Amino acid sequence: MARGILGTTRVGHGGTLDPLATGLLALLVGETTRATERLHTAPKVYDALVRFGSETATDDREGEPTRSAAPPAEPSSIEAGLAPLRGAIWQVPPAYAAVKVGGRPAYARARSGETVKLAAREVQVHRLEMTEWNPPDARLFIVCGSGTYVRSIARDLGRALGSAAHLAALRRLAIGALDIADAVGIEALRSAGHADAVSRLRAMDDETLVLPRRYLDEAADKLVGAGGRA
């Protein structure tokens, strides 16, 4: 649709979202499509809803339950589970992930019935806070680096608390300097037409990759409220 509105075939994206997710999707146009991998390195911000009680095959609500356990009894215990998930951590991607195993995406192997075991890799979680507790759901504010799976954070948080958990909802609020407050919905883009779409284009430079300090400094509940709900 963007290709048609902009009148060009050179339109790419700066990182897709899982089917259940909403929020910011960066489109790259023209020569900027060459910078796709560069944009992938920018830090990202998420508003996530983690549901305790069951772990699933996909680590989100779309998968079949694989294990059940009682949710945490007190919200204070969740902080203890979040602590080891901050900073530079080793994280195992979900079995249903785009990571390639022997040249094929892990999700393709998992869907064909293979047992997929992925190696842990180091990722950066710059900020991880609970903004709301409404049993059995915990709402999390997450600022993370490239390659971090929020589904894995949900899964690992459940395990750390002696419970079971999966990702129930996810909304991406920012990619580097690109903010959901400046985004436009698909239907609004379609109805506004060519001139409006062109006016929204911005040059990509080093500053595009820099996350605004407010995402690291301001109160998490305020930041989540400004970007809508997961």
- Two tokens at 221? 């509940």
**Which pair of structure tokens corresponds to residue 122?**
């180091």
Summarised one tens digit per residue, pLDDT across range 111-128 is 777 777 878 999 999 999
How many angstroms separate the most distant Cα atoms in the chain?
A: 55
Cβ atoms within 10 Å, residue 60: 23
Task: Give residue 230's pLDDT band: very low, low, confident or very high (50, 70, 90).
Answer: low
Label the pairing between strands 165-175 and 22-23.
Answer: parallel
Give me the mean pLDDT over the 101-116 stretch.
71
Active-site residue flag, 18: yes
pLDDT exceeds 70 at position 206: yes
Q: What average pLDDT does this structure show over 167-172?
A: 97
- Is it the case that residue 51 has pLDDT exceeding 80? yes
Pairwise CA distance, residues 135 & 13, whole Å: 36
Distance from chain centroid for Cα 97: 13
Listed residue (210, 129, 203, 138) closest to 169, CA to CA: 138
Q: What confidence score (pLDDT) does residue 122 get?
A: 96
Q: Enumerate the domain spans of the chain.
A: 2-42+174-219, 46-172
Q: What are phi and psi of 37, to 5 degrees?
A: -65, -35
pLDDT, residue 18, reads 83
Of all residues in the chain, what percent carry a pLDDT higher than 70? 94
Model confidence at 55: pLDDT above 70? yes
Per-residue pLDDT averaged across 84-97, rounded?
90
Q: What is the CATH number of domain 46-172?
A: 3.30.2350.10
- What is the Cα–Cα distance from 72 to 132, expressed in whole angstroms? 14
Q: How confident is the model at residue 182 (pLDDT cuts 50, 70, 90)?
A: very high
Give the mean model confidence (pLDDT) for residues 79-99.
90
Q: What is the pLDDT of residue 11?
A: 93
pTM of the model: 0.91
CB 60 within 8 A of CB 168: yes
The confidence score (pLDDT) of residue 196 equals 93
Question: From the candidates 18, 59, 60, 156, which is the catalytic residue?
Answer: 18
Q: Is residue 227 scored above 70 in pLDDT?
A: no
